[in-house]
Amino acid sequence: MKQGLLERLAAGPVICAEGYLFELERRGYLQAGAYVPEVVLDFPEQVENLHRDFLRAGSDVIEAFTYYAHREKLRLIGRENDLEPMNRQALAIARKVAAEGDALVAGNICNTNIYEAGNKDSARQVRAMFEEQVGWAVDAGVDFIVAETISWLGEAEIALDVIRQTKLPSVVTFALHRQGELRDKVSAAEGAKKIEQLGADVVGLNCIRGIRTMMPYVKQIRDAVKIHVAALPVPYRTTTAEPTFESLTEKDPECQHCIPDRRSFPVALDPFQATRYEIAEFGREAQALGMNYLGVCCGAGPHHIRALAEALGRKPAASRFSPDMSKHYAYGNDTRLKQANREYAERL
Ligand SMILES: [Zn+2]
């Protein structure tokens, strides 16, 4: 019998790899802009492979790729009829890959982009969107459900209420934009406290902010609540001046001219990429601070997740190929290496 999310969290950190949209966009299987996971229906084997890559890298959770597979997005690209098949297929793929390891399957709902504070009609539509997606996740037998990248407390409350009806464990993570507060003008910590009171099992932040600009807020959440805390930053070097990955701008004057509108988001963020060492450091720090639902969001690759897993003391399957520079032809120290190359190393 597989251990559930809450048992695992009680025993230590749980890793949840994310960022499928960015990775599959880079690989050429979905489009930046609308960011709809069409790949789930059009190239399902690619989604399966990516899940498997993350599983090998140490993810404890396979999150169904239903992010933005919701009614508002499908309408935008004229594929509303594909809504249900897309969700069911994404859930089936996640289940299949999770069963190859000891991983949990998570259902996923996210920001609807139609929520409007104080508008009852929008609240009704949001709830209906969440209900249909959560219903399909329950049918698929998921272990728990994540509501993520939500920047309105009001929208997160609806999401949590819909998840709570299922009796499954719930994870709610906010997206914190440049202002450093939720869009209803509530601090992240206050919002998290409200979500705790409403019965969530895990609360925290995901996406939008890199490690440096996310951690201060997750610490505040950690201090404010008693439930488990989640931290899933983007692997980009955000700064106090540019705290979100949307706000990052190219600094190299030689390269600025070729980036449309000088906005590096979303497909020119490469120069800001965090290394796996920074991700490892994040993992150690987050664990020490008592955060235990950890991952990396948009921009993450399997190498980041492996670094996170290893930082938490794990040895996932992919660790078989973790770096070993002792056999490098010039930087190595293996006695079988040619001495002349080793002496030439500092001239490389
Ligand atoms: Zn993200």
State how far the Cα of 163 lies from the Cα of 157, in Å rounded to an integer: 10
Q: How far is the CA of 247 from the centre of ligand 1 (A)?
A: 14
Q: How far is the CA of 347 from the centre of ligand 1 (A)?
A: 40
Q: How far is the CA of 298 from the centre of ligand 1 (A)?
A: 4
Q: How far is the CA of 198 from the centre of ligand 1 (A)?
A: 25
Q: How far is the CA of 204 from the centre of ligand 1 (A)?
A: 13
Q: Give me 274's structure tokens.
A: 């965090």
Q: What contacts 47, CB < 8 A, 6 or more positions away?
A: 20, 24, 37, 39, 40, 65, 90, 93
Q: How far is the CA of 228 from the centre of ligand 1 (A)?
A: 20
Per the listing, tokens 């048992």 go with 7
Residue 209, helix vs strand vs coil? strand
Q: How far is the CA of 7 from the centre of ligand 1 (A)?
A: 26
Among 62, 66, 34, 31, CA closest to 49: 62
State how far the Cα of 256 lies from the Cα of 320, in Å rounded to an integer: 40
Q: How far is the CA of 102 from the centre of ligand 1 (A)?
A: 24
Q: pLDDT digit string (tens) for 56-111?
A: 999 999 999 999 999 999 999 999 999 999 999 999 999 999 999 999 999 999 99
Q: How many helices (H) and strands (E) in the chain?
A: 13, 8
Q: How far is the CA of 345 from the centre of ligand 1 (A)?
A: 39
Q: How far is the CA of 175 from the centre of ligand 1 (A)?
A: 9
> What is the per-residue pLDDT for 1?
76
Q: How far is the CA of 329 from the centre of ligand 1 (A)?
A: 38
Q: How far is the CA of 142 from the centre of ligand 1 (A)?
A: 21
What's the chain's Rg over C-alpha atoms? 21
> What is the per-residue pLDDT for 2?
87
- The single-letter code of the amino acid at 118 is G
Q: How far is the CA of 207 from the centre of ligand 1 (A)?
A: 4
pTM: 0.97
State how far the Cα of 146 lies from the Cα of 289, in Å rounded to an integer: 22
Q: What are the start-end ranges of the H helices in 140-210?
A: 153-164, 188-197
Mark the ranges of the chain whose per-residue pLDDT is less than 50.
none
State how far the Cα of 188 lies from the Cα of 186, in Å rounded to an integer: 6
Q: How far is the CA of 85 from the centre of ligand 1 (A)?
A: 23
Q: What are the start-end ranges of the H helices in 32-182?
A: 39-42, 44-57, 71-76, 83-98, 120-139, 153-164
Q: What contacts 330, CB < 8 A, 6 or more positions away?
A: 341, 342, 344, 345, 348
> What is the per-residue pLDDT for 48?
98
Among 162, 163, 170, 155, CA closest to 293: 170
Q: How far is the CA of 208 from the centre of ligand 1 (A)?
A: 6
Q: How far is the CA of 346 from the centre of ligand 1 (A)?
A: 39
